[in-house]
Amino acid sequence: MLDWTFNQLEADWMAERLKNFGDFRLASLAPSGFAAYGRLLHPAPAQDGTLVRWAEVASHNGTPMTPTSDFSHLAIAERLPDGGIAWMGDPPDIGTLESHQAEHLGHVLAAHTHTPDTIWFALWDGLGWDRAILCRLGHPPEPAPDPIPLSVRNGPRMRIPSRDYIVYSGSIEDALVWIPTKHQTPHFWWPQDHAWVVAGDVDLPWSIVAGSQTLIDSLIHDSILEVVPISENDQLDSQPAWLTAWVDKAVRDLVAHRTAVIKTPRGAVSFRISDSGVWLESERGSRTRLHPQSARRTLEDQLSSHLFASLINELHLH
């Protein structure tokens, strides 16, 4: 059973070690000072619904993979072997672990703490559960019950840069408590003895596990989880040169002709600048506002920064 009693000491312990949260280092997602860090990659659904590892996607597409790869770079692919077919599955879940993955991770972590029955959890307070609407056939829409008690909803928070969290405690099995109804795992969980931390973020398709070298080594070699080793200063791989070249050519075409096509093994995506000159639009309906008269950013800069995000969305990779 969850204990909703807010513990300021535990919240402070975490918050003080997350002062670099949100910088470009992968491990900044988790507290500093641990012996080792692993990047837990959320599995990606194949077309038949089977969950697959990122390494399988990379292998299918013939794309090199590193511990710091971005999933979208693996899933797009520069080119395929003759006769090859691009991997056409969906992107991994962002902001939450898959249920089987979370359950198995809990079993592994329980063996690496002396306090598996006292686990602290932090859940981002922006999930909107308190504003959810319940729609039932034949009934008018009505507010859905909020699983977070009102006293907790109005209570203190764990605060870190750009994020506020509700903190509660339970046993390690309670990491799964929100999966049946909300398809959500906590964004942070750690034991009372501070032996390890699982850290995620609402916007990311991967999590970080921080702990002993023995723990991270066991996760790296786990047959169910896909965990790759990282150091505290590792960053995501930069956009590959071939993808930058695709975007640069599209920018030139848009500026010169107001239209561009980016062809990928997953399909081609067409873009245009609207007649009014203030929207970047795709053939599939997405629109991004441009500021052609901006004194701070040229039109080319704006297009370059928007095109990759638009391409990822159009190819259903985010």
pLDDT, greater one: 292 or 101? 101
DSSP string, 223-283: SSS-EEEE-TT-BPPPPPHHHHHHHHHHHHHHHHHSEEEEEETTEEEEEEE-TTSSEEEET
Supply the DSSP string of 90-104, one letter for each residue.
PPPPSSS--HHHHHH
Please state, for a pLDDT cut of 70, what percent of the chain lies above it: 99
pLDDT in tens, 255-276: 999 999 999 888 889 999 987 8
Tell me which amino acid residue 260 is.
Answer: A
Can you give the pLDDT at residue 292?
A: 81
Give the residue-averaged pLDDT of 75-92: 86
pLDDT tens-digit readout, 130-169: 988 888 777 778 888 899 999 999 999 999 988 999 999 9
pLDDT of residue 81 exceeding 80, the answer is: no
**pLDDT tier at 174, thresholds 50, 70, 90:** very high
Taking only the tens place, the pLDDT of each residue in 106-124 is 999 999 999 999 999 999 9
pLDDT per position as a tens digit, 38-68:
999 999 999 999 999 999 999 999 899 999 9
Q: Is 5 helix (H, G, I), strand (E, B) or coil?
A: coil
pLDDT at 82 over 80: no
Distance from first CA to last CA of the chain, Å, rounded? Answer: 34
- pLDDT-derived band at 210 (thresholds 50, 70, 90) equals very high
